[in-house]
Structure 1
Amino acid sequence: MKLKDKVAIVTGSSKGIGEGIARVFHREGAKVVVVCRSAKEGAKMAEELGASRRQAIFIQTDLTIEEQIRRMIDQTVDHFGKLDILVNNAGYHISKNVEETTEAEWKFIQDTNLRSTFLCSKYAIPHLRKTRGNIIHISSMVGVVGQPNAGAYSATKGGQIAMTKGMAIDFAPDGIRVNVICPGWIQTPLVEDWFSQQKDPEAARQYIYAQHPLGRIGTIEECGTVAAFLASEEASFVTGAVIAVDGGVTLGY
């Protein structure tokens, strides 16, 4: 088990990509801190990961509020005694171009996606310095290539990529590695909802599959296995890396 006895915070881990990362980390021996807004969903996930065996805890957190982020980091260290891994996964997306986006929507997306990445990292770093731990940001293919109606979202995802590179340089002397994963189309409830809203859901699905050289979309577990590699000693010489987990869709084939 490549993450045995490591303590990992995974934000937005009650569903989607965050769930996949949390489940793989748990399988690889990590003690997982489930972080999300929903008390019901978060508690359920933590219980499934072994809360009764002290293998997981849930900390309800609104990641747009600085004090709640600081409290979440402190509670993690109080409970497990240390912190080894931070995964900044939580995110929010609206399908609007910049002209259509209100300032309130812009601010909420920035706070949820980018400001939370900054604040979680800021308060985790003093603890990660002690364990020579690592940080993984979950960005998106939209941070690398353009997509219609994703102006605010793409700004935050591009920001996470740029932040990764700067942080990797700044904290390398402390032994802290910082990397970023850019998922493409992944089979999540959000993506399934998108398919169901199309005029011909099956035709839409096949069209999206055809854009991928591998002929399909990814799974949350595939994102989790890449994150587990980056979090482990197997990736001890990897920092500042931008890892596409997208089935080749951004190759523009």
Structure 2
Amino acid sequence: MRLNGMRAVITGASSGIGQATVNLFRSEGAQLLLTGRRKELPDVGPDELYLSGDLVDEDFVHRLADVAARRFGEVDVVVLCHGLQRSSPLTEMSLEDARAVLDGNLLSTFLAMKHLAPLAPASGASIVCVSSRLGMIGKPEETLYSAAKGGVIALARGAAIEWAPRNIRVNVVAPGLTLTPIIEASINRAPDADAYRRMREESIPLGRMATAEEVAYAIVFLSSHQASHITGAVLPVDGGYTAA
């Protein structure tokens, strides 16, 4: 098992890619401390702990790190899989929504890294940030989301250099369209869901959306010792979208 005995904190653990990552980490032997915005997580394992909270709240992030320190002593892997997306034409987006997108993606990632990185053991640790294909390209009505996810990439690259002397590796997984419950719901809201699904899939060179598990496999790889000489990297899991 690639993560056997590793002490891991996973954010955004209650749905979508985060939930798939939790399942895969569990199968790979990791010890888990999980967090998300949902009040409860029904399938928490007997040796796992779930804390509900908002990563924009520094007091909560400090408490999360304190629980991690008491539970594990040190943290080997941090996966930052949370996020917030609000779509709007740039000139019509409210300042409140813009702040929410930046806080929910970029500043929350900063806070988690700030408080959890000090728990890395002397031998080093791995931090994996989940950004988006939209962190590397522009798309109408997603400008603030692109700015926030692009900021996550820049933050991770800077941290990778700053923390390299401590052997803390910081990498990014950038998913494309992924079949999460949120994406499925957005497709099903379309007047012609089948046609809309085909249109979205045709925009991807591989001709289909990713599964959440496919993104989780990339996260596990970057978290593991198999990626021990990789830091500051951005790994797209987007079916070739950003290569086109």
Q: Shared fold (TM-score greater than 0.5)?
A: yes
Q: CA deviation at 1:201?
A: 0.4
Superposed, 1:220-231 pairs within 5 Å as: 220-231=212-223
Q: CA deviation at 1:131?
A: 4.7
Give SS of 2:91's match.
coil
Partner residue in 2 for 1:142? 134
Partner residue in 2 for 1:162? 154
- Whether the 8 Å contact between 2:74 and 2:121 is mirrored in structure 1 is no
Structure 1 residues 182-220: Cα deviation after superposition (integer angstroms, max 9, x where no partner): 000000011001101112100111111122222211011
Q: CA deviation at 1:153?
A: 0.8
Partner residue in 2 for 1:31? 31
- Whether the 8 Å contact between 2:75 and 2:121 is mirrored in structure 1 is no
Q: CA deviation at 1:148?
A: 1.4
TM-score (norm 1): 0.93
Q: Is 1:208 aligned to 2:200, yes or no?
A: yes
Which amino acid in the other structure matches residue 203 of structure 1?
Answer: A
Q: Residues of 2 paired with 1:108 and 1:84: CA distance? A: 30
Q: CA deviation at 1:99?
A: 1.2
Q: Residues of 1 paired with 2:90 and 2:202: CA distance? A: 29
Partner residue in 1 for 2:103? 111
Report how many residues are paired.
244
Give SS of 2:120's match.
helix
Give structure 2 stretches of 5+ with no counterpart. Answer: none
Which amino acid in the other structure matches residue 152 of structure 1?
Answer: L
Give structure 1 stretches of 5+ with no counterpart. Answer: none
- Whether the 8 Å contact between 1:82 and 1:131 is mirrored in structure 2 is no
Q: Is 1:237 aligned to 2:225, yes or no?
A: no
Partner residue in 2 for 1:21? 21
Give SS of 2:158's match.
helix
Percent identity between the aligned chains?
A: 36
Q: Is 1:218 aligned to 2:215, yes or no?
A: no
Q: CA deviation at 1:11?
A: 0.7
Q: Residues of 1 paired with 2:82 and 2:155: CA distance? A: 16
- Whether the 8 Å contact between 1:211 and 1:249 is mirrored in structure 2 is yes
Q: CA deviation at 1:129?
A: 4.5
Q: Residues of 1 paired with 2:7 and 2:212: CA distance? A: 20
Partner residue in 2 for 1:69? 61
Q: Residues of 1 paired with 2:6 and 2:176: CA distance? A: 28
Q: Residues of 1 paired with 2:7 and 2:94: CA distance? A: 39
- Whether the 8 Å contact between 1:34 and 1:45 is mirrored in structure 2 is no
Q: Residues of 1 paired with 2:136 and 2:123: CA distance? A: 31
Give SS of 1:239's match.
coil
Q: Residues of 1 paired with 2:123 and 2:187: CA distance? A: 43
Which among 87, 92, 99 is matched to residue 84 of structure 2? Answer: 92
- Whether the 8 Å contact between 1:129 and 1:176 is mirrored in structure 2 is no
Partner residue in 2 for 1:199? 191
Q: Residues of 1 paired with 2:229 and 2:206: CA distance? A: 28
Q: CA deviation at 1:80?
A: 2.4
Q: CA deviation at 1:178?
A: 0.3
Which amino acid in the other structure matches residue 143 of structure 2?
Answer: G
Q: Residues of 2 paired with 1:245 and 1:207: CA distance? A: 19
Q: Residues of 1 paired with 2:180 and 2:200: CA distance? A: 14
Q: Residues of 2 paired with 1:160 and 1:121: CA distance? A: 11
Partner residue in 2 for 1:58? 50
